Amino acid sequence: MSSNIKVTLRKKANKQGFFPLVVRITKNRKTNYLYTGHYIDIKYWDEDNREVRKSHPNSKRLNNLLINKLAEANQTLIDLQTHKNDISSKQIKKEIASPLSKTSFKDIADKYLDELEKTNKLQRLSSDKARVGHFVRFVDNDDLSFREIDEALLRRFSMYLKTSRKVSQRSVINNLIVIRTLYNKAIRLGIVDRKLYPFGADKIRIKFPETEKIGLTIEEIQSIEALDNLSEQKAHARNVWLFSFYLAGMRAGDVLKIKWSDIYDGRLHYRMGKNEKLLSFRLPAKINSLLKFYETDKRFNEDFVFPEMKNANLKNPKDIFNKVKTANKKFNKYLVQIAEKAALNKKLTMHIARHSFGNISGDKIPIQMLQKLYRHSSVTTTIHYQANFMHKETDDALEKVINF
């Protein structure tokens, strides 16, 4: 469909009887008007030449303004058509009034974080908000455009994270991923041209470094199980950790959300918080022993097993998220002390329960079964995860060569 952009005098007078000078944008037979902010008497308008008559005291200045607005509108139309096959007169008007090219990184970042909050993706929000903050503070420019985000700037930012903030290479990559996500969003919105994209094989590469996942051994877990004379807080942290481990490293957030009503017929039935999967596990005898510690505090069938969520506002996702986050931090503090008491030389955190299950299972369990236990959506994820703990074949191969 054809487009038509003209300067004109809109025949809609204000209270003083003057008419607005506008850019008329017609697309697919729909018209929108972009106001210049100037009004004149109708006698000064030359309809044939579409300009302000010379008899107007400011005719030269107003006509130059109209020429510039017309050129801007036509250039905007060309730019938009480069990115989109079909655009409306309203879109053209919006772009002229508030050019996308002037949209800053912070503008897009704020909208992105707002979307995460509105959709209750609070874990992502917590992580990405900090990462956006690192970059915004580093550039110290709220008006930084996406055109200014090039390889050189990203390399300086990476070095800043490593040297000034002392973060790991994995954390550096996580920060770059957020910037890449926002840059891709800016490309889709037509804010920046794809040819300026600073990421890629020959530019800024997003590649996670290999990380060593260390889990506890059977003997080390037995030493934790056997600990006595623990304070109430430490005993509780130990119980939650063991509960997680006994169920293949269930995430702390899922453990804390378990209700007594989720347990029946000797099984735990729950919906995984990360991907909403509905799962069912037969409870090991060791878990049944743990549950006895909390039965006396059971108020009703729908009550939470563990105390951290009992006073949570279940209608407020932020309150739930904050209580899980606070509890996880508290558990990890006590687990450090538990590790010392058990004479462990390894780091002990809630997440290590998952690594420990992987370390002990090794290659004893078929990978498809491990996928179910870990609640992974893809078996490929399970293969990559479990590869950290499967050493028997390499150990046997090494022995065959050197044992002579």
Supply the pLDDT for residue 182.
96
- Asked if the model's pLDDT at residue 401 lies above 70, the reply is no
When pLDDT is averaged across residues 138-144 and rounded to a whole number, the result is 92
**What is the overall mean pLDDT for the chain?**
85
CATH topology of domain 102-196: DNA polymerase; domain 1 (1.10.150)
Q: Dig out the tokens for 106 from the structure.
A: 């912070």
User: Would you state the pLDDT for residue 139?
Assistant: 94
Distance of CA 128 to the CA centre of its chain: 5
d(CA 242, CA 350): 9
Higher pLDDT, 111 or 2: 111
Sign of CA dihedral 371, 375, 377, 381: negative
* CA–CA dist 238, 330 (Å, integer): 12
pLDDT tens by residue, 15-61:
889 999 988 888 777 888 878 889 999 999 999 988 999 999 999 99
Return the structure tokens found at 150.
Answer: 């090039």
- 165 or 192, which is more confident: 165
Rounded to 5 degrees, what are φ and ψ at 5? -125, 120
pTM of the model: 0.65
Residue ranges covered by each domain of the chain:
3-98, 102-196, 218-361
Instruction: Express each pLDDT in 61-73 by its tens digit.
Output: 998 888 888 887 7
Instruction: Return the higher-pLDDT residue of 307 and 375.
Output: 307
Contact indicator for 180, 135 with CB cutoff of 8 Å: no
Beta bridge partners of 194: none
Q: Is it the case that residue 396 has pLDDT exceeding 70?
A: no
Helix, strand, coil tally for the chain in percent (to 5): 55, 10, 35
| CATH class held by domain 218-361 | mainly alpha
Chain segment 83-114, per-residue pLDDT in tens: 555 667 676 666 565 555 668 899 999 999 99
Following DSSP, what letter does each residue of 139-178 receive, concatenated? HT-TT-BGGG--HHHHHHHHHHHHHTS---HHHHHHHHHH
- The CA–CA distances, whole Å, from 208 to 171, 173, 176, 200, 205 equal 9, 7, 11, 14, 9
Report the alpha-carbon distance of residue 288 to residue 246 in Å, rounded.
11
Contacts for 303 with CB less than 8 Å, ≥ 6 apart? 259, 260, 310
- Number of Cβ within 10 Å of residue 284's Cβ equals 11
Averaged pLDDT, 349-357: 87
Most confident among 98-112, 190-204, 308-322, 360-374 (mean pLDDT): 308-322
- Band (202; pLDDT cuts 50, 70, 90): confident
